[in-house]
Amino acid sequence: MDFLTPQFLVAVGQIILIDILLGGDNAVIIALACRGLPPKLRTQGIMWGTVGAIGIRVVLIAFAMSLLAVPYLKLVGGVLLVWIGVKLMIPQDDDHGDIQSSDKLWTAVKTVIVADLVMSVDNVLAIAGAAEAGGGEHKMALVIFGLLVSIPIIVWGSQLVLKLMDKFPFIITAGAALLGWIAGTMIHTDPGLKPWMPAESYVGYVMGVVGAVMVVGLGKWFASKKPPATS
């Protein structure tokens, strides 16, 4: 058994770091989607959203490398992520009746799953790449380890972000801007757009900033058009 080889331990460290970064993004997504739920349903939303997020990564890992080469997949995903970010900035109604709450719970879970599907491609590829470097027969063990480590990071991170959002509403805007940033950088790395993309490395950062500004700007505009909630 060579689980303690330098290559394996380095791969473990890389996967933990990837999961911390990945968990941060997904914690924001889950918290944004669940912030309109009544307190008694927030934990359910976080748990089901996390289950969906982990399930998606299991499926994506099965054909991770082939996804990387699909032209325009990241472009479509980036546009979808912008739409999700804008939608999450629009204030939600405070009516939490029994039927409405049930509907909102599954709406929040679906939002989490769709956003995670878009965001997970790069992250899954990163985990798969780190696992590949860890050594042949242990690759799947490293992948499973990465998925298991991500669960407590996402659950705990989501609960923390939700509490912070209640106290500091500007975090909602920051979270939406993060989605825009990810969308812009994702579109920049789309293999189908590579022939038309400038070669300079700073272009990816510029597109990330443009995506963040676009999401916040559109989100605030649509929010200003929404009629005030009636009591």
Residue pointed to by tokens 């959002």: 165
What span, in angstroms and rounded, lies between the C-alpha atoms of 101 and 142? 39
Model confidence at 209, pLDDT cuts 50, 70, 90, reads: very high
CB proximity list for 222: less than 8 A, separation 6 or greater: 86, 89, 90
* Global confidence as pTM: 0.64
Say what the pLDDT of residue 100 is: 46
- pLDDT digit string (tens) for 134-190? 655 666 677 677 777 777 777 777 778 778 877 888 888 888 888 888 888 888 888
Residue 218 has pLDDT above 90, yes or no: yes
- pLDDT digit string (tens) for 16-46? 766 665 566 677 777 888 887 887 788 888 8
What span, in angstroms and rounded, lies between the C-alpha atoms of 139 and 159? 31
- CB-based contacts of 166-174 (< 8 A; 24+ apart in sequence): 166/35, 172/32, 172/35, 172/88, 172/89, 173/89, 173/216, 173/219
- pLDDT digit string (tens) for 117-139? 776 666 666 566 566 556 556 66
What span, in angstroms and rounded, lies between the C-alpha atoms of 178 and 112? 15
CB proximity list for 79: less than 8 A, separation 6 or greater: 183, 187
Model confidence at 65, pLDDT cuts 50, 70, 90, reads: low
